[in-house]
Amino acid sequence: MEHTDNLKQGEKGAWLSIAAYLILSALKLVAGYIGQSDALKADGLNNTTDVIASIAVLIGLKISRKPPDEDHHYGHYRAETIASLFAAFVMMFVGIQVIFDTIQKIISGESSQPHLMTAWVAVGSAVIMFGVYFYNLRLSKKVQSSALYAAAQDNRSDALVSIGAFVGIIGAQLGLFWLDPLAGLVVGVIICKTAWDIFKEATHTLTDGFDENRIQKILTSIEEDPEVKEVVDIKGRIVGNYAFIEITILVDPELNVRESHKITDRIESYLADTHNISHAHIHIEPFTE
């Protein structure tokens, strides 16, 4: 129930991103075409992909809220990760297109002096996106949403992209006409870099990857339990925002079932309180010298 409530709260961040991107993409594209700024037009195209990515995150959060059923015994939490993966593909496609278009303009020598108005649109957009970034970052940590965290990182990249566009436009105002299309090229590279980071994280999660340092810390802390003789096996994987841990421990063979069960309860509570592990499967075996 708590997880479902968290995901519902996370949807607020996705809706905020969608609203911000819809307004800013329209504003940047119109201002970019009127003011003849390649950097601002590239930034506007970037925001149109962000709308799609944010919608994917929103859909992923909604699907993740569905309870377990006959086909999904562990719930639908991985829908979040799939949403992040989809967003990465969309962003990469547009990023490559922006790079290709701006390289063509640089090679052909096309250049123009963008209107100063486009610079203020860029810097204003950066301020707004930094605000959205801090809101979504704080919310993603509160509700423990990997998809919303990825969206927050995208928000930050968009703010930096707008700052880059501002620099390019101001440079063109000073007579460095090549700086505006160059800023557009940098925008494309940043889009691709952000997409790659999200893709890498999503695929690591979907292939049951787990942080080695985190698993080692968990193992070490369990070994400190006075009734655990040895930890012989430990595995971890991420499902949605939650870590699933499987542990095999050796205990005194003279313990009865009730006493052994108390050990598993104690370890489960410890993992939840100390390592934020809410799903742990602990297998007990007898210890022999």
3-state SS track over the chain? CHHHHHHHHHHHHHHHHHHHHHHHHHHHHHHHHHCCCHHHHHHHHHHHHHHHHHHHHHHHHHHHCCCCCCCCCCCCCCHHHHHHHHHHHHHHHHHHHHHHHHHHHHHHCCCCCCCHHHHHHHHHHHHHHHHHHHHHHHHHHHHCCHHHHHHHHHHHHHHHHHHHHHHHHHHHHCCCCCHHHHHHHHHHHHHHHHHHHHHHHHHHHHCCCCCHHHHHHHHHHHHCCCCCCEEEEEEEEEECCEEEEEEEEEECCCCCHHHHHHHHHHHHHHHHHHHCCCEEEEEEEECCC
Write down the pTM of the prediction. 0.69
**In the prediction, which pLDDT does 112 show?**
65
Pairwise CA distance, residues 280 & 270, whole Å: 11
**In the prediction, which pLDDT does 52 show?**
80
**In the prediction, which pLDDT does 60 show?**
79
Taken in order 156, 157, 158, 159, the sign of the CA dihedral is positive
Tokens 């594209």 correspond to 29
**In the prediction, which pLDDT does 247 show?**
92
Pairwise CA distance, residues 235 & 277, whole Å: 12
**Rounded to 5 degrees, what are φ and ψ at 242?**
-105, 145
**In the prediction, which pLDDT does 55 show?**
83
Query: What domains sit in the chain, N to C, each tagged with a CATH number?
Result: 2-206 (1.20.1510.10), 212-286 (3.30.70.1350)
Contact 113, 177 (CB under 8 A): yes
**Position 114, amino acid:** P
pLDDT in tens for each of the 289 residues of the chain? Answer: 445 556 667 778 888 888 999 999 999 899 988 888 877 887 888 788 788 878 877 887 778 777 778 787 777 777 878 877 887 887 788 778 778 877 877 777 666 678 888 889 989 999 999 999 999 888 888 877 777 787 787 888 788 888 878 887 888 778 777 777 777 788 778 878 888 888 888 888 888 888 888 889 889 889 888 888 889 999 988 877 678 889 999 999 888 889 889 999 999 988 888 888 878 889 999 988 7
Pairwise CA distance, residues 256 & 28, whole Å: 70
**In the prediction, which pLDDT does 1 show?**
45
Pairwise CA distance, residues 42 & 35, whole Å: 13
Pairwise CA distance, residues 81 & 147, whole Å: 6
